[in-house]
Structure 1
Amino acid sequence: MAADAKQKSFQFVVVGGGIAGVTCVERLFQLFPAAGVALVTAAPHVKTVQNFRQVSKTLEEFDVAERPSGVLEEKYPNLTVIQSAVASLRARTHALRTADGLEVSYGQLCICSGARPKLLLAKDNPFVLGIRDTDSAREFQKRLSKAKRIVVAGNGGIALELVYEVRGCEVVWAVRDKAIGNTFFDAGAARFLIPSLETDKPEGVATCKRVRYTVEQAVVRPAPSSHPAEPGSALGPDWHEGITLRGAEQEEKGAHRVSVEYGCEVDKIYSPGEEGPDTPVVSEAGGGSWPVYVRLTNGKTVGCDLVVSATGVAPNMEPFLRGNGFVLAPDGGLRVDERMATSEADVYAAGDVCSTCWGEERQPGGTAGAGPLWQQMRLWSQARQMGWHAASCMAARALREPPVELDFCFELFAHVTRFFGHKVVLLGKFNGQGLGPRDQELLVRCTPGLEYVKVVLSGGRMVGAVLIGETDLEETFENLILNRMDLTPYGDELLNPNIDIEDYFD
């Protein structure tokens, strides 16, 4: 609702309309229905969790819907949605000012400002596009429809989905690592997936069952003339659902035209008129002239119609956070403790903007730390979990109840996604994170085109797993990891395809 006065006061204020912020708001009203809550968001839409399903003890699936912010106000009468960016924060006096000039005082504040994309250094280049929110995804669809070749820089989730979905356009994929998908899986899993780029995408390929992204049309309130409209919150998995990603060339349906350049990054982006004595001669098949050229660090130069930046994200440290006493983690995020509390009194943080620096042992006078097989990876599932936990901690403090223990979801890292048409489940230290070469043993089973199963053992106990394909092993492996069972007697038989491991350990 619109703010008539220039000053307002709320018991709880949440900044950010993404999954973490909206989940925080919804949980606050579950625990404290009569509380006065304000959600401050620069975008006219908010992202909500729908059709939540607990697949196993730690794995969860849900749909993500982008909806008009007014939907939340209708659901929660005590909620005030303030559509504006935050201009400044004075944590010591528990007050913030919006870009509209509204003064907002709070009892407790939760910052859920998400993450910003790490875009390529190509300021105002019309041929470089970073995919961040719904608008930029639609712009990409529009630009792609006229393109015969694009260069994609990045190796994260958006890049993986993009190169698989694009049709009717040649894709040159610049990957700085030695294998694709380095964030999510190892080189063995990458080799299993690569053939999917070399074959036609089947008609009616199974859609992802864990997080789907839908949009409802909103009545957009115009941004005040004093400041421009802010970009929406970041895209989530399946951002391409409902968007046709087809280039200018008319080809048979399903055709892939992807070439991967490994171990390199974008060195320079320039147009034909910017060539100088230090610019290498363009050497590429087919020759011709392109509107933009990309020089890679491996020495190759590629001409294309569009450069897509998908090089990851960083905590969104908005300018309003400066001038306060926030302690930052090494990755630049707001450092939070087991209660999602920052270093400033009564200020919490959740989602991509924060960094969890939790110990594995019980903290003096505090709650127990996260399990040793959990790690933060700035995923949508973790944003929901953190927003939920932050609200629980805020409500407990307001109601003067004992501190809230960390939820069981923080006991084991668990994530389900889909890449190249294959279901992908990641559990625990799936890539041996934090384990030395001598501290881990790997067991691998691979059936090309069907499944890839990798188990990480340490001291004879399972500590992580990568499951690609319809393996139906996620719940069994999750139990084996959580139960800390000594698997030494089973050796290589653990992955024997002739043994029904699910029945064996049930």
Structure 2
Amino acid sequence: MATYVVVGGGIAGVSCTEILSLLCPEDSIILITASALVKAVTNVRKVTKMLEIFDVEEKPMISVQSHCPNVNVIHATVKSIDATKHCVLTSDGQVLKFEKLCICSGGKPKVIAEGNPYVLGIRDTESAKQFQKKLKAARRVVVVGNGGIATELVYEIEGCEVVWAIKDKAIASTFVDAGAAEFFMPQLSKCKHKSDNPKTRLKYTLEQNEAATVAAADVLGGALGPDWACNLDMTGVLKVSHSVFLECEVEVRSVYSAEGEETVLSSTINPNAAWPVFVELTNGRVYGCDLIVSATGVLPSTDFLQHNSFDFAEDGGVKVDDMMRTSVPDVYAAGDVCTASWDIAPHWLQMRLWGQARQMGGYAAKCMHAAIKQEPISQDFCFELFAHATRFFDYKVILLGRFNAQGLGEDYELLLRVTKGEEYVKVVLKDGRMQGAVLIGETDLEETFENLILNQLDLTPFKDHMLEPGIDIEDYFD
């Protein structure tokens, strides 16, 4: 019997395993991973007290054992869990008994037209590599979705026409408001130049593990980490730099391979060109293309949990309390597979992002260890404030607190400062106190705004001037 069993080789599962190994080096730990590659978080840098950035490095699963001697890594999928008998049944027939179990199985992409060879969902490194290979021969790609992966893809693709179909009125609406979307819009038609200092936050090691990866080609690996797209060569066959056609407030009505009459575009492609697949949108327009990318979000991966008495949330995630415990005794969950079901803090919200996967995985490890030792534990401070750093259209993007006024009703006010092409600053106030912020560009305001959200200082006397360009806000509230 193992003291701890962790299911999932993504960021949440590996973070949980590493923290467990650190806390209890004498206890036996088993990590079950469906992929031969695991996601390891490296080079963590603190930006503020709550905000951090890190690299995600893909490594062979055996690397976890090399620096965590009490961890045994098993390459298999989980077929089922028998919670009453405290055991896990794997695809290779093993029965693994545990004292505490943490489920970090992540999510699976919601793919339109499942099974169509021209439709690809991007979730892990293998699917990203498949996309890269197919893109090399592509003239036009239709990208469906408006989240982080879709937004990054649309910006990075070159040498190929891109039709971007979104169900919202504005781009990137999962993360930013219509004003910030308008700030980003010029980048859709701008000739993009590769940075002289390429980002290396996600390091791929797929080629070195080709055999192991191909053997498990039908198995989803861990979710992509930060900056996953910027180091992949995403170039099609056309001699165009950046060509994006935006379709707003639409969804895909049908996907078909028969000959169809295509919507006329201001296109560099021969209008008589043959297409292998067509996409019909709900506005009646039809686009011929070589490839469709379905980037419409993920669903928690819970198929193997259905025969137990787990409580599930409306979004399909396993409900967890403030100690990351599920409704089943001795079973915990972390990352994309779970849904936070405690009374959450006023300035925190759950979004299925790599940063939260790391936080949840590490915190779940501490909770399981405390339970084994029968010691009290306080909820991690990271759940006090939502804080996320990413990049869109080559701009630094910082999201803090209720950055889009989530849950604030209509009784709030916004402060804006916009410098075209340089920065976009939005502050959300309620009753004179800062509830959230969006910072795009090199604003250097994240630490100050984080403190103002946490401290809930009444900003009424200052709000008319605090975003004026000549005001040094950092000194103002020092």
Measured against the shorter chain, the TM-score band is over 0.9
Identify if the C-alpha distance between structure 1 residues 75 and 379 changes in structure 2 by more than 3 Å, giving closer, same or farther: same
Aligned residue number for residue 228 of structure 2: 239
- Match 2:371 to one of 385, 397, 400: 397
Structure 1 residue 229 displacement after superposition: 5.1
Residue 296 of structure 1: aligned partner? 281
* Superposed displacement of residue 100, structure 1: 0.4
Instruction: Name the structure 2 match of 1:256.
Output: 242
In 1, the alpha carbon distance for the partners of 2:435 and 2:328 equals 35
In 2: Cα distance, 1:148 partner to 1:139 partner = 16
Any runs of at least 4 consecutive aligned residues in structure 1 with deviations exceeding 3 A, and if so which?
205-209, 211-214, 216-225
Residues 188 and 223 (structure 1), Cα distance of their counterparts in 2 relative to 1, 3 Å cut: closer
Q: 1:229 to 1:257 in 2, by over 3 A?
A: closer
Matched, 1:501 2:473: yes
Aligned partner letter, 1:302: Y
Aligned to 2:143: 152
- 8 Å Cα contact 1:44/1:221 also seen in 2: no
What displacement does 1:212 show? 3.2
Give me the whole-angstrom Cα distance separating, in 2, the residues matched to 1:206 and 1:27. Answer: 33
Question: Which amino acid in structure 1 is aligned with residue 262 of structure 2?
Answer: V
What is the percent sequence identity of the aligned residues? 54
Residue 336 of structure 1 contacts residue 356 of structure 1 at CA under 8 Å; is this kept in 2? yes
Q: Could you tell me how far apart the structure 2 residues matched to 1:150 and 1:93 are? A: 49
CA distance in 1, matches of 2:197, 2:208: 29
1:416 to 389, 392, 415: 389
Q: CA deviation at 1:242?
A: 2.9
TM-score normalized by the length of structure 1? 0.90
Q: 1:145, 1:247 within 8 Å by CA — same for their partners in 2?
A: yes
Partner of residue 482, structure 1 = 454
> Matched residue pairs, number?
473
- The answer to whether 1:434 aligns with 2:407 is yes
- Point out the more displaced range, 285-294 or 74-83: 285-294
2:402–2:437 contact (8 Å) kept in structure 1: yes
Q: Which residue in 1 is equivalent to 2:99? A: 107
* Cα distance in 1 between the residues matched to 2:336 and 2:388: 16
Of 324, 345, 352, which aligns to 1:378?
Answer: 352
What amino acid maps onto 1:171 in structure 2? V
Asked if 1:272 is matched to 2:272, the reply is: no
* Deviation, structure 1 residue 173: 0.2
CA deviation profile, 1:129-181 (whole Å, cap 9, x unmatched): 11122111111111111111111000011100000001110000001000001
Q: How does 1:308-323 map to 2 (within 5 A)?
A: 308-318=293-303, 320-323=304-307
* SS of residue matched to 2:84: helix
Matches within 5 A, 1:81-160: 81-120=73-112, 122-160=113-151
2:336 paired residue among 347, 352, 357? 352
- 2:140–2:290 Cα contact (<8 Å) kept: yes
The alpha-carbon distance between structure 1 residues 92 and 46, as it changes in their structure 2 partners (threshold 3 A), is same
Q: Which residue of 1 aligns with 2:23?
A: 31
The 8 Å contact of residues 199 and 231 in structure 2, kept in 1 or not, is answered as no
Q: Deviations over 1:230-265 (max 9, x none)?
A: 2212222222243100011134xxx21001000001
Equivalent residue for 2:416? Answer: 444
Which aligned pairs between 1:55-66 and structure 2 lie closer than 5 A? 55-66=47-58
Q: Distance in 2 between matches of 1:435 and 1:220?
A: 49
Distance 1:268 1:57, change over 3 A: same
Instruction: List runs of 5+ in structure 1 lacking aligned partners.
Output: 1-8, 276-280, 360-369
Are 1:461 and 2:436 matched, yes or no? no
Residue type of the alignment partner of 2:466: L
What amino acid is aligned across from residue 264 of structure 1 in structure 2? Answer: V
Flag the 1:134–1:224 CA change in 2: closer, same or farther, 3 A.
Answer: closer
Contact 1:15 1:21 in 2 (8 A): yes
Counterpart contact for 1:223–1:229, Cα < 8 Å: no
Separation in 2, partners of 1:13, 1:373: 32
* Cα distance, 1:220–1:295 mapped onto 2, change above 3 Å: closer
- Inter-partner Cα distance in structure 2 for 1:228 and 1:247: 24
The RMSD of aligned alpha carbons is: 1.8
Q: 1:229/1:294 Cα in 2 relative to 1: closer, same or farther (>3 Å)?
A: closer
Could you tell me how far apart the structure 1 residues matched to 2:155 and 2:332 are? 38
Aligned position for 2:187 = 196
Residue aligned with 1:160, SS: helix
Matched position secondary structure for 2:462: helix
> What TM-score results when the alignment is normalised by the length of structure 2?
0.95
Change (3 A) 1:194 1:71: same
What are the ranges of 5 or more consecutive residues in structure 2 without an aligned counterpart?
A: none
Question: What's the CA shift for 1:216?
Answer: 6.3
Aligned pairs for 1:316-331 (under 5 A) are 316-318=301-303, 320-331=304-315
SS of equivalent residue, structure 1 residue 424: strand
Q: Which amino acid aligns with 2:6?
A: V
SS of 1:164's partner is: helix
Where do 1:33-72 residues align within 5 Å?
Answer: 33-72=25-64
SS in 1 for 2:100: strand
Residue matched to 1:74: 66
* 2: CA distance, partners of 1:238 / 1:140: 16
Q: Does the Cα contact within 8 Å between 1:55 and 1:61 map onto a contact in 2?
A: yes
2: distance between equivalents of 1:432 and 1:443?
Answer: 12
Greater Cα offset, 307-316 or 455-464: 307-316
For 2:213 and 2:76, how far apart are their aligned partners in 1? 8
